Structure 1
Amino acid sequence: MVNNKIQWFPGHMHKARKEIEEVVPKIDVIIEVLDARIPFSSENPLIRTLRGDKPVIKVLNKRDLADPAMTDIWMTHLEQEQGVSAMAITTQQQSEVNRIMERCRALAPHREAMGKNIRSMIMGIPNVGKSTIINSLAGRVIAKTGNQPAVTRQQQRINLQNGVVLSDTPGILWPKVENPHSGFRLAATGAVKDTAMDYDEVAFYTVEYLASAYPERLQERYQLDDLPETEIELMEAIGAKRGCLRAGGRVDIHKASEILLHDLRAGALGGITLEAPDMIETELVQVEEETARREAEKAANKEARRKRYLKNKR
């Protein structure tokens, strides 16, 4: 099942990358907003290449929707990278949002010592709550918010009037999600539009993981005594419990998929994290192996074409 890839890089995002490359040398701290449920999949690998030696604050937003124990594991993991500081917040608590500015000051004390504003840049893929954080920090509506990806379209500088100037950037999703697992997780949490991938396939992938990692949550939410062995049977059981029936009593899988993904995104299943550091390590090895296999196949096909050409030329 895990063979889908998202390729979703609108023109305005390509432009945003160019703008970021120009601005990064002029800033002191980078703030990257992540979804606490998918810290790796919502992380943008472009930032690692664009940041240079700038300190980075990884803000795991929506911690209230994530598994607290897994959030702690992820913060420890992220801070293993040089110059990275991690913190978990929910925008439901203003005091937690304010900690971002405290962390900025701690990472750029030289600017305050000189009486100058700390220049920060906030980044994040679509729908991680970046705009809500900006509005909370500014104390007024600066950025549009919405539950659909890619609301912010142009870069803007915001003086927070507290010694920090914030550069906002359009939500960037990288050119190609090489890890297919990440593609499904991004779709499950709503980081990409529901039309970007097959909706039912996303639900199948998600429910299979939940049955493995959080079986009791599924049983409690959908009043299931036992969990079926396959993801299709499980989705049918959820659909039957929720009355998603077509003529003849058949389960409407699409409606059942909508219910599951809505419940996940709304936190109705409790705090859930869809990935762990050790899972990611295994997946990245698989991605490397698959990439190498495709490259070898491509080279072999090219050589075969060359030989056919030379043979026909004789």
Structure 2
Amino acid sequence: MAIQWYPGHMTSARKKAEETLEHIDVVIEVLDARVPAASHNPMIEEMRNFRQRPNLKILNKADLADPQITQAWLNYFNSQPNTKAVALSCKKAGDAKKIPGLCRQLAPHRGSPLKPLRMMIMGIPNVGKSTLMNALLNRRAAKVGDEPAVTKSQQRFDLGDNQSITDTPGMMWPKIEHESDGYMLAASHAIGRNAVIDEDVAEFLGNLLLKQYPALINTRYKLDAMKLDVQQIDGIDLLQAIAKRRAYKRNDGQWDMERTAMAFLTDYRGGAIGRVSLESPKSRAEMIALAAAKPEKINNEVENSTEADAQTDAS
């Protein structure tokens, strides 16, 4: 099932962002370090490139992500023109304080009384934009919540030292092209629960983590104690094992898979499983190549079928 989520207020948020960008010097895009490509909104790239604005990419929640894969993403993003990337945790005030200096490097002609440095924070919902704002301001100016799309309107703040920053609502895009992106975003809580089925998302996440981090999964859920081979089970088996270990049962005596799915997703989101990343530059390139090959395969099958039908008709 493809996951799509585009609440109505995001259309007006995009229009307002396009207008404000004319008066912005540096775009700060906050990404989830565990899913940097999936959490990148292509509309932000379009708007930024149209205005020819430099980009600081913040790989937030780096404390939850696989450090080796995060470094690979930093190498990838820092090779792009007019772009600088840094990994940090916005919950650490010291990390957030580095951001204005990095923006000054991208816009060295700004930052004087006559030409103040004007920054804008952008990104999809629930990647930590508001937490970053609060760390920069040393106060709770932006509303923070566990559910995505908490911020609904733009807010501009003066940081002093000839610097200002504009916070924007989290923005998705109308159509998520790759199905796996929707599931990774849902697992990372960037998509509202009304658009997903938790059990499906948890099964997807389980399959992914069993493949990429079997030792961490085994340690967290003690699968060997249940005589389960982590190399031989899938996401559904994993969820059933968690339900049994934690005795998650419904009133009718059946295993409570909805509660189990939420518990598993909560473990991932909070870092209880360990430092994991759901995609790397290599896996991303492979996924895109595979997706690009599918239409060609379908076209070839259609052509072959058409040719076979024509030969049958001719005979």
Runs of 4+ more than 6 Å apart = 292-297
Distance 1:135 1:230 in 2: 40
1:82–1:295: structure 2 CA closer, same or farther, 3 Å change rule? farther
Q: How many residues align?
A: 295
Cα deviations by residue, 1:13-45 (Å, 9 ceiling, x for unpaired) = 111111122222221100000011110111111
> Are residues 1:51 and 2:26 paired?
no
Identify the match of residue 273 of structure 1 among 271, 277, 290: 277
Q: Say whether residues 1:155 and 2:154 are aligned partners.
A: yes
Provide the secondary structure at the position in 2 that maps to 1:160.
strand
Q: How does 1:277-288 map to 2 (within 5 A)?
A: 277-288=281-292
Q: What is the rounded CA distance, in whole Å, between the counterparts of 1:168 and 1:248 in structure 2? A: 48
1:210-265 Cα distance to aligned partner (Å, 9 max, x none): 11111111111111112242222222112111112346864322222111101001
Matches of 2:68 and 2:2 in 1, distance apart?
29
TM-score, length-scaled by structure 2: 0.88
Q: Distance in 1 between matches of 2:207 and 2:246?
A: 19
- Kept in 2: contact 1:5–1:176 (CA 8 A): no
Letter in 1 for 2:56: I
Task: Verify: 1:5 aligned to 2:9, yes or no.
Answer: no
Aligned to 1:308: none
Instruction: Look up the equivalent residue of 1:51 and give its one-letter code.
Output: R
Q: Find the counterpart in structure 1 of residue 267 from structure 2.
A: 263
In the alignment, which residue of structure 1 is the partner of 2:208?
A: 209
In structure 1, what is the Cα distance between the partners aligned to 2:103 and 2:56? 8
Instruction: Indicate the residue corresponding to 1:240 in structure 2.
Output: 244
Quote how far apart the aligned CAs of 1:10 are. 1.9
1:295 deviates by 9.4
More displaced, 199-208 or 133-142? 133-142
- 1:109 Cα offset (Å): 1.4
Tell me the CA shift for residue 282 of structure 1.
2.0
1:292–1:130 CA distance, 2 compared to 1 (3 A): farther
Structure 1 residue corresponding to 2:32, chosen from 29, 32, 35? 35
State the partner residue of 2:308: none
1:230 to 228, 234, 237: 234
The 10-residue stretch of structure 1 (250-259 or 44-53) with the greater mean CA deviation from structure 2: 250-259
Q: Over the residues paired in the alignment, what is the CA RMSD in angstroms?
A: 2.1
Give the distance between the partners of 2:117 and 2:145, measured in 1 at CA. Answer: 28
| Mapped contact 1:30–1:122 kept (Cα < 8 A) | yes
Shift in CA distance, 135/247, structure 1 to aligned 2, threshold 3 Å = closer
Distance 2:202 2:56 in 1: 32
Residues 50-199 of structure 1 aligned to structure 2 (within 5 Å)? 50-52=47-49, 53-112=52-111, 115-199=114-198
**Do the aligned partners of 1:131 and 1:145 also contact (CA within 8 Å) in 2?**
yes
**CA 1:294/1:176 → structure 2, altered by over 3 Å: closer, same or farther?**
farther
**Pairwise CA distance, 1:50:** 0.8
Distance 2:90 2:18 in 1: 28
Counterpart secondary structure, 1:131 = helix
* Contact 1:178 1:287 (C-alpha < 8 Å) held by counterparts: no
Give the Å deviation of 1:196: 1.2
TM-score normalized by structure 1? 0.88
Letter of the structure 2 residue corresponding to residue 138 of structure 1: L
Q: Which moved more, 1:230-239 or 1:142-151?
A: 230-239
> How far apart in 1 are the matches of 2:251 and 2:109?
69
The answer on whether the counterparts of 1:5 and 1:178 sit within 8 Å (CA) in structure 2 is no
Structure 1: gaps spanning 5 or more residues: 298-314
Unaligned runs of 5+ in 2: 302-315
User: Compared with structure 1, are the counterparts of its residues 102 and 240 closer, same or farther at alpha carbon in structure 2 (3 Å cutoff)?
Assistant: same
Counterpart-to-counterpart distance in 1, 2:98 and 2:212: 31
Query: Partners of 2:165 and 2:300 in 1: how far apart?
Result: 46
Q: Distance in 1 between matches of 2:152 and 2:240?
A: 40
Q: What per-residue deviation string (whole Å, max 9, x for no partner) do you get for residues 281-304 of structure 1?
A: 12223333456788999xxxxxxx
Q: Does 1:16 align with 2:20?
A: no
Q: Percent identity?
A: 41
For the residues of structure 2 that align with 1:234 and 1:149, how far apart are their CA atoms?
Answer: 27
